[in-house]
Structures are given as C-alpha cells and as structure tokens.
Amino acid sequence: MTKSQKDNLFQLIKSLSKSEKRQFKLYVGRLGVNADSKFLNLFNFLDKATTYNETSILNKGGIKKQQLANVKAHLYKQILISLKLSPSHQNVRSQIREQLDFASILYHKGLYKQSLKILEKAKEFAILNEEKNLAYEVVELEKVIESQYITRSISSRADELTIQAKELSALNVIASKLSNLSLQLYSIILKSGYVKNEEENIYIRDYFYNRLPKFDISHLGFREKLWLYKAHLWYSFLTQDFLNCYKYASKWVTLFYENPIMINSHPVFFLKGNNYLLESLFFIRRKKRFEKTLLSLEKIISSDGFPKDNNIEALSFLYINLHKINLYFTDGNFDEGLKIIPEIDSRLVFFKNRIDEHHVMTFYYKFASMYFGSGDNDTCIFYLDKIISNKSLSMRQDLLCFSRILNLFAHYEAGYDYHIDTLLKSTYKFLLKMNDLHEVQKEMIKFIKSLQNIYPQDIKKAFIKLHSKLKTFEDDPYESRAFLYLDIISWLESNIQNKPIGEIIKNKYSLNIDR
C-alpha cells in the first residue's frame, strides 16, 4: 500500500536540515537504550527514502503493522522536542514561556521570591516585545503568588497588578477583535474577490464598521496598530480603494521601521506588509516607488541580521518573485520577463510543500499573462490549463474566472478556432455557476463569439467597437476590476494599431515614469 507524499511525518523529516538531523540523533542518543529503538530505525529509513511507501516500511523497517501508528506518533513528537531545544528555533515567545515554566516550578516548590523575580523580568521582556497575551499570563501568575507571599507592600502591589491586568486585558480584547476582523475580511477576499456591485459594497462597509472596535489611537501599542492597519488594508482591497491600500500598507511597513526590534521578532508580518505595499503600488502605477521598495526589501532579506528559517525562506521567495514579475508588467517588457520564468518555475517545485496551492496558481497565471503579452500563446495556454484543470483547488473565484477568459483570447490569437465553441460553452457555464458574469466579461465573450462571423476586412472595426464599449467601464468601481487581471484594453489597442501589446503598455506607463 503506497500512500501520498503528504504524510506528515515524512514531510517533517524531509524539511529537516543536516544540522537538525544531527541534533535529533544526538538528542535521542543521549540514552543508550534508544540506539536500536524502532522509532530511530524508522527515522533513518524515512530519511533515506525518496517517497513515502508504507509497504516498504513494513517489509524493511522491522516494524509490525499494528505498531506503525504508535511508532510514527512517538517519532513525530521526539523530532518536535528536539527542534524545540534547538537555539535556531528559540524566539521571543518561547523564551517568555520558558521563564513562565521556571517561575511556576519555583512557585510550586514554595520559592515565592525567586519566582516573582523571574516573572518581573519576563513581564518586562514580554511588554517590550509586544507579547501582551503572555504579559497578561505573567501578571495573573504574579497575582496568585502575591496572594500567598505576604509582604508589607502587598496593598500597593495588589493595586499595581490589578491595574496592569486591566490595561493588558483591554488591549488584548482590542487586538483580538481587530485580528478577527482582519482574518474575516481576508477570508471574504479569498472566496469572492473584490466587491462586485453597490449592494456588496454596502454590505462590506457595514460588516467592517460594525465590527471595528472603539479605541483611542494614542493608547494603542505596536501590536494593536498592526492589526488595525491590516483590517483597514483588507477592507480597502475588498472595496478596490487602492490609494487607501497604499496608505495603510505604508503605515504597516513604517510601523516596523519605527520599531526595528519588531522586524526580528515578527519577520513574517514585516514581509507581508512589504508585499501588500508593493501590490498597492503596482495597482496605482507608482513604478519608481515600486522599484525602490522592492530593492529595499531584497536588501533587508539578504542582510545577515534578518531572521532565517524555512517559512521565511519560502515567503521571501514568494513575495520577491511575484513582484519581480509584476515589475515587467508595469512597462510591458514581456520578452525580458520571460527570462526569469524558468528559474522561478523550477524553484516552485522546491517550495511545493511550503507554498500554498493558491499562490502557485497565481504564479501560473502571471506566467501565462507574460507569455500572452509576448505572443507565445501556446505556452500561455499550457500554464492556464494547470489552473483550469485543477478540480480539487479551492481558491479565489476571480482568478479562476479570468484564467478561462484569458484562455479564450489565447486560443483566438493562436488561431485555434476549432476549440472556441467548446471553450465558450464551458466558460459561460463556469461563470454562470459562480454568478460572476459582469458587463466587461459579457462584452469580451460576446466579442470572441462574434469574431467567427466577421469578415477579415471588418475585424479592425470590431476591435474599435469593443474598445469603445470597454473604455466606458475603465473607471467603473465594480467593472474595472476585470482590467486588474487582464489588460484587455491594451490588447485591443495593439490589434487596432497593429503594434505589440508590450509596446502599447510601455507607452502608457512612460506617462508615469517620474512618479
């Protein structure tokens, strides 16, 4: 019986570095009794294996079928314990929890004064690093100990701890409400994309402001401001207010630069903030600021002081390369952009277990768009098929929608007329099912369908007619979202003017070259 490559234990072992494997063997080898244990033998077997095959484990691993589940669970736990002990996996949160554990041990031994001394330092460290949930835990344990360790200062100490607990609790509630709101908005945009009409806009507006907690900005710390900016950012993305996206992404990144210690404490949030800043700059077409921000981010990531681990490595690859591709879209330099695709595509395989499928499909859509812009429609169709044929994928509907529409245009450009009818039917069926057939999409599909009945000498007139119709939607807050995914206006202009689409886009962006 051969199981999927996605076996959790197998993935964990394959994610280990050489030093982590060495540390694990030293950790389990500290007791001689483990030298020939079943779980260590299983580790060695899986470490050498290229695929997870349960039959091979049972035949060669010296483990009986009824033992396998327990041995795997024990090995998984031992690996995590070993990783926890590694200095490379120690962070602010783990250091504070360790001090809490030490203080708890001392408390239970009746060494109250020693326990309180550790807790005071842990609390200061937690507040300094904006770990207020842990700071609240520290204060609660301090209250328990102070109630049993009687001192002359108990009255003032009780008041002090009570006030601290109240302040921390209030800030934790605000942070929790803001993080909940941010996560809920993120979930909506992944599922449905941007707002599609005024009714949805009113719903999202009410949804946002009804859940936004009351606060005094001057009383908020780093963590609370971070969640506040994130919530506003997702609200702005949903409503396609890209200037406000830029505003709140800038606030997010600036918050880190004003508190540099937080870059090392929360590198993932720092990376994400820069990602959204770059995304909003791309949408509002600020090319010079985009380039400057991208170069600055690359420099910080490659610096010696920036944290390094598997997660950060994967996110850095994701954000840097998505925006490197976007940079070529800003000036229509598609031929140059094609040069970086093979390396990115090959590295996607390396990161396959660390980058979610949605982002992989986003890369494929970017690749397809780049090839479409350069005139290589066959390769464009190849990457689009990876998205369209993925039946198990649950991802943002607007990306699925425009993958199908771009696929129609690529088939038309490639001259595959015999596929058009079938593709039109399947695309209509898909869009109607997801209830996402908007005016821009209707006009585009209607146009493709009509091309089969237009005489060659009238095609240019048809392009001009569609261009005139679509231009009316360019500033429409709900219809213009189509142009974020597929620059159909530039494609039409390239056909009307008989110029490469890259040249059309380059001329447009040259107007913003000083921005």
> Which tens digits make up the pLDDT trace of 141-154?
998 888 776 555 55
Check pLDDT > 70 for residue 61: no
- Per the confidence metrics, is the pTM higher than 0.75? yes
Residues 423 and 481 grouped into a single domain: yes
Give residue 40's domain range.
Answer: 8-89
**Residue 386 has what pLDDT?**
92
Mean pLDDT computed over 51-73: 84
Please give the Cα distance from 363 to 346 (Å, whole number). Answer: 12
Residues 85 and 120 grouped into a single domain: no
Residue 166 or residue 38, greater confidence? 166
**In the structure, what pLDDT confidence band is assigned to residue 84 with cuts at 50, 70 and 90?**
confident
CA atoms lying within 13 Å on the CB side of residue 11: 12
Worst-scoring range by mean pLDDT, 219-228, 277-286, 309-318, 399-408?
399-408
Residues 153 and 61 grouped into a single domain: no
The chain-wide mean pLDDT, for the chain, equals 86
**In the structure, what pLDDT confidence band is assigned to residue 91 with cuts at 50, 70 and 90?**
confident
Query: In 235-261, which positions are buried (b, 16+ CB within 10 angstroms) versus exposed (e)?
Result: bbbbbbbbebbbbbbbbbbebbeebee
**Residue 396 has what pLDDT?**
62
Residues 103 and 80 grouped into a single domain: no
CA diameter of the chain: 99
Decide if 411 is inside a domain.
Answer: yes
Decide if 167 is inside a domain.
Answer: yes
**Residue 195 has what pLDDT?**
84
Mean pLDDT computed over 402-421: 83
Check pLDDT > 90 for residue 469: no
Please give the Cα distance from 92 to 280 (Å, whole number). Answer: 31
Residues 42 and 106 grouped into a single domain: no
| Angle in degrees, 0-180, between the axes of helices 38-48 and 65-85, rounded to the nearest 10 | 80
Q: Is 137 left (phi over 0), alpha (psi -120 to 50) or beta?
A: alpha
Decide if 201 is inside a domain.
Answer: no
**Residue 438 has what pLDDT?**
74
Decide if 125 is inside a domain.
Answer: yes
Check pLDDT > 90 for residue 179: yes
Residues 101 and 159 grouped into a single domain: yes
**Residue 409 has what pLDDT?**
85
CB count in 10 Å sphere of residue 89: 13
Residues 83 and 104 grouped into a single domain: no
Decide if 406 is inside a domain.
Answer: yes
Please give the Cα distance from 122 to 278 (Å, whole number). Answer: 37
Q: Contact, 474 vs 483, CB < 8 A?
A: yes
Place of tokens 């997702």: 234
Decide if 46 is inside a domain.
Answer: yes
Output the CA–CA distances (angstroms, integers) from residue 43 to 25, 57, 72, in the order listed: 9, 11, 9
Check pLDDT > 70 for residue 105: yes
Most confident by average pLDDT, 106-120, 192-206, 249-263 = 249-263
Residues 135 and 153 grouped into a single domain: yes
Residues 401 and 512 grouped into a single domain: yes
Find, among 298, 290, 241, 325, the residue nearest to 512 by Cα.
290
Domain count, the chain: 3
Q: Of the residues 142, 174, 206, which one is the last residue of a structural domain?
A: 174
Residues 405 and 479 grouped into a single domain: yes
Decide if 242 is inside a domain.
Answer: no
**Residue 296 has what pLDDT?**
95
Residues 131 and 25 grouped into a single domain: no
Q: Write the pLDDT tens digit of every residue in 350-381.
A: 887 788 888 899 999 999 999 999 999 999 99
Q: Of the residues 36, 62, 89, which one is the last residue of a structural domain?
A: 89
Q: Of the residues 70, 89, 108, which one is the last residue of a structural domain?
A: 89
Decide if 483 is inside a domain.
Answer: yes
Residues 494 and 403 grouped into a single domain: yes
